[in-house]
Structure formats: C-alpha cells, structure tokens
Amino acid sequence: MNAAIQDKVNAWLNGNFDQATKDEIKRLQKEKPDELADAFYRNLEFGTGGLRGIMGVGTNRMNKYTVGMATQGYANYLKQCFGDNVKVAIAHDSRNNSRFFAETAANVFAANGIKVFLFEDMRPTPELSFAIRTLGCKGGVVCTASHNPKEYNGYKAYWDDGSQLVPPHDKNVIKEVDKIASVDDVKWNGGEQNISITGKELDEKYMEMVKGLSVFPEIIEKHKDLKIVYTSIHGTGIKMVPQVLDRFGFKNVHIVKEQAVPDGNFPTVAFPNPEESEAMSLGLNLAEQLDADILCGTDPDADRIAIGVKDNHDKWVLMNGNQTAVLAFNYLIEARKTKGIAKENDMVITTIVTTPMIDAIAAANGVNCYRVLTGFKWIAEMIRQKEGKENYIIGGEESFGLMIGDKIRDKDGVSAVALLCEMAAYEKEKGRSLYEKMIDLYVQYGFYKEHLISITKKGMDGQQQIAAMMEGYRKNPPSVINGSQVVMLMDYEKQVKKNLQSGGEWKLDLPKSNVLQFVTDDMTVISARPSGTEPKIKFYFSVNTTLDKAEDFEKVNKKLDEKIKAVIADMKL
C-alpha cells in the first residue's frame, strides 16, 4: 500500500469515526489489504449527479461519512444561493442502508438550519422530483443506486425545479463538497426540530397528477380487463404502480409475487435492472402462463421501465429501450392528435444516443423534436428554455427512461407503466398487438435498429484505460466502418461537428460532454460514451433501412442484425 493511501487509512483510524468503522478497517488490513487499498485510494467523487459507489468503509465508498460530507457541501451551497429560508425533500429506495443514508442526510441538512421533508418510507425517485416542486423546496436528495448491483448505493442531488443539477449549480456544488476536508467540518446533529415526516398526502397528489396524463380514459373503460403483469423487482414501484393502474381503471393486474417484497439483497436477480432479460424472466413466465396483454417492470427506484409483449409467433419478448421510447412517443403524438388536443407548439425531447426514429415520427407529425445530452436533467433544462413558448409532452432516452408531462423533471417509471398500458388498450381497441404496432411504425417511418455494448474496466486503472480509448478515437477517428465512409464526426467534448470529407466544421450548441459520434454515408451512427458513474464505456450503434411491408419484417430484421454485427467486428469491439 502506498504512502498516500496509508495516510488516509491512518486518518480514519485516528479520527472522529465510530468504533465499528475502525474495527472494519483493522479487519481489512489483516484479511483483505487489496480491498482496503481500493476503499481508500481516492475520494468517492461527487459528480454532476451526486454520489454512487460500493457501500463500505473508506473514502472511496458509500458510508455515513461520505454521505455526511457531501450533504454538508450541498447545504452550504443551498444557503449561499437562497439564504436561510431553505427547504429540501429527501427520499430513498429499497436498497440496504438507503434509509440510514437518507436519515443521515436529513440530520445534516437540519443541523444547518434547513427545513427537511423526509418521506416516511421508501418512495419512487420520480415522487421526490414531484415533491420538490409541490412543496416549494430549493433542493432535494434521493438515496438510490438505481439499477446497480446490490453492493452499490448512491445519492442524487436535485435543484428547485425538481431536476438533477445542471450548470452552473452542478460544478458549484462539487466545489463546495470538495471544500469539506474532514468529518469534523460536518454539522451532524442538533436540528432535529427542522425535520418533518411526509408521505400519504404527497402520494395522493402525485397519483392524481399521473392520472391526469391519461389521454383516452374511455378506451381504458372498455378494456379495463386488459391483462397486465407487473414486477417491481424488489423495489419501490410496488408502493405506487398497482395503485396508479387501479386509478387509471385497470382491474386485471397481476403482480409477480416472488419480486413484490422490497429487498435490498434482490434475491431473485443478479442485477435489479429491467433492461436485463434475467431480471424480467419471472415476469415473462407469468405473462406467458396468463396469456397477458403486456408485461411491465420497474427498477428499484422506479424511474426506469421495461415492457414485454408477444411477438408474431406468440413468444414473449422484451422491447428494448429505443423501441419502448418509440412506442411511447408515437402514442402521445398520435393519441393527442386523434383526441383533438394536440397543440401547434407541441414538442418532444430525446438524447443524442437515442434512436433517430423519434425524429422521423415527430417531423412527420409537425412536432418539434430536440436532442440533448444523455440524462434527464438535460431534458428538464430544455423544458426550462422552452417554457412559455412550446408545449412539452414527452421526453425519453434509450436507457429505459420516459418523462411524461412537465409536472416532474426526472424519468418516471410509474407514469410510464400507466401510459404504456393505456397504449396497449388503445391498440387492442384497433385489433392490434403492441408488437404489430411496432412493425407498422417501421413500415411508416423506416426500420431503425439499435444495439448497445458496455465494456467495463475494473480496478484502479480502469478509468485511465477508458480515457486512453476515447483519446485514441479522438486523435485517429476511423475513416471507413464496415465498408462505408465516415462522413461526420461529432465531438461533444470539443463541441465540434466535422465533415471528414470536406473538412468543414460547425459548433455543437450543447454543453461539453465526453461523447464521440461517427456517422457513415449509409447513415449508420456509432456513439462512444464513458459512463459518469461506473468504470464503463458504452458504444451505441444505430442502423436503418426501409421496410416496404410488414410481411418482410423478419427478413429485414435479420439483415439489420447482421449489419450491426459487421460494424462491431470492424471496430474490433
């Protein structure tokens, strides 16, 4: 162990840390020195979204002390911006220690003279966003690691409009957090009178808000027996989703019982991520047994959603995030037009790595479509910019997230489940399955197919390996991919769009972000993006062609699959 790491370990052994923490450090010294080194080799970074990491002792772990120091820095910044009259809301999910971290944050805020609304029990992340706006808070925190494995937890920080932090506040909060050099700089207690417990009243307002998003309640009434299977994957969705579906009018909802009990150990899954077929397998089995109309699943904090449907061979399949987004965007655009409530200034928002099919649907329907950086805080920022000028109806991205309506400013799996079930009823009324609807959209707007590869680089040098990979692509971009010329390079870090054939350059009017995109002359799009929360780099692939008739779907689908495989092979990934 090098001297710098040893100094940090000694500081914790000799500082104002509880005895259980010191005992665990001593145990790791004897039994797992490598693990101890990883726990102290750096400080857990308070990034632009907050904290996320493995739970345990050490400066590079989620624990009482890293959470407390982060909260002190955030409290200092809130008071700088808003003076002494500051309110915050705090929520948490079903993960191990989430309640403890939420109470820790509440105590630190309260000790700093900040009024705290702490949820009585676990709640979906989107309800935290709604609470900030409803209660007039200046900020908020939710303790969750979203869909990460069970050993992780996290801390997401929010601003006064209910969105996660964006410039300049994100960087400014980071500066204040970095100033907290010691646990002795934290006000740990003494303001308990500033904490109010909240819950049921906000639940009621939130559910009424979601119910108000319904476009065709009369179709739900006709199809109230639509057979719905839902799994909360041991998370917070169980608190809200069944109640919201009931309020929408759906009376035939089947819960996956094995995953209905909130449990931070996630005993039935390796990863509590609805993107993974393994996490949804129990739901798929139940949907098949019941011959259901739709399967829905949410992640532990209920901000992400996945859906399953029957394909043309009566086999249950999961839709990917891009397909789910396409169906949702199209439904709200189409249904609003059919109902006669569409507005001339309607707009939708998606992200730079999400399927271009959304742009095609929006353009064909005369709806403005804006692309922002990955993350719902950027969708919220665009809503702010367009407020009073354009009418936001839906935003979403490929990572299984949707944000419907502007009453919250983060992705919301609860409202997404309700609207997607309404969409299933709407298509059933027309004698169509959702799978058939997806194919019809391909015929109408073009067949777009996407694929994602995530490469994880673990250990202390993982981030450096990822940085070197990005630098290599930046300095030596490929000129040909799978036999097609690379005609355009978008470097969002340098905010430059280059035509690699003519040499022309344009400024990208988006904030800096470490993302590279390559576009070939056959409109294949490849994006490279390091994760902001994990030692991981993601590659997104999008290809497209025409689909003349629905009967050709499987043949053309196979060709697009082969094309994606060829692109990946050519890039040696």
- Among all residues, which ones are annotated catalytic? 146
> What whole-number distance in Å separates Cα of residue 1 and Cα of residue 5?
7
> 419-440 burial, b for 16+ CB within 10 Å, e for fewer?
bbbbbbbbbbeeeebbbbbbbb
In 3D space, the residue among 80, 134, 140, 97 whose CA is nearest the CA of residue 116 turns out to be 140
> What whole-number distance in Å separates Cα of residue 157 and Cα of residue 165?
7
Assign 104 to helix, strand or coil. Answer: helix
HSE, side-chain direction, 13 A CA sphere, residue 408: 29
Query: What residue ranges in 130-204 does DSSP mark as E strands?
Result: 139-143, 152-159, 195-198
Work out the widest C-alpha separation in the chain, in whole angstroms: 72
Q: Could you give the C-alpha distances from 467 to 350, 425, 464, 473, 531, in angstroms and in order?
A: 26, 47, 5, 10, 11
Residues 535 and 457 sit within 8 Å (Cβ to Cβ): yes
> What whole-number distance in Å separates Cα of residue 264 and Cα of residue 234?
7
In 3D space, the residue among 291, 288, 306, 274 whose CA is nearest the CA of residue 225 turns out to be 291
Order the strands of the 115-119 sheet from edge to edge.
50-54, 152-159, 139-143, 87-92, 115-119, 195-198
Cβ-proximal residues to 94 (8 Å cutoff; 6+ apart), any chain: 122, 234, 235, 236, 262, 263, 264, 300
Cβ-proximal residues to 259 (8 Å cutoff; 6+ apart), any chain: 231, 232, 233, 234, 268, 269, 282, 283
> What whole-number distance in Å separates Cα of residue 410 and Cα of residue 371?
16
User: What number of residues does the chain have?
Assistant: 573
